Amino acid sequence: MKILYFASLKAKTGIGSEDVTPPASVGTVADLIDWLKGQGPGHADAFADLRLLRAAVNQEHAGFDAAIKEGDEIAFFPPVTGG
């Protein structure tokens, strides 16, 4: 599974992307977030306030309840506005 971090999440984790193999119990974006929080203090900080977080699964905007599986690309980014 490929994880991409953008903007403040990239700054807090210290990385732009990583390949991970979460446990089989991780089946949704929310499960993945919970697991990622335990990967270190930068990850815990990046995912501390879910109101400031959006996700995409395979380049499609997705809710935290979206199903994920091995081989997916999950991107995390702050909310953005147009103008």
Question: CA 36, 69, 48: angle at the middle one, nearest 5?
Answer: 20
Do β-strands 60-62 and 17-19 pair in parallel, antiparallel, or remain unpaired? unpaired
CA atoms within 13 A on the CB side of 2: 10
pTM strictly above 0.85: yes
Q: Tokens 């919970």, residue? A: 34
The superfamily in CATH containing domain 2-77 is Beta-grasp domain (3.10.20.30)
Q: How distant, in Å, are the alpha carbons of 20, 40, 41, 71, 83 from that of 57?
A: 15, 23, 24, 11, 25
One pLDDT digit (tens) per residue for the chain, 83 residues: 999 999 999 999 999 999 999 999 999 999 999 999 999 999 999 999 999 999 999 999 999 999 999 999 999 999 876 65
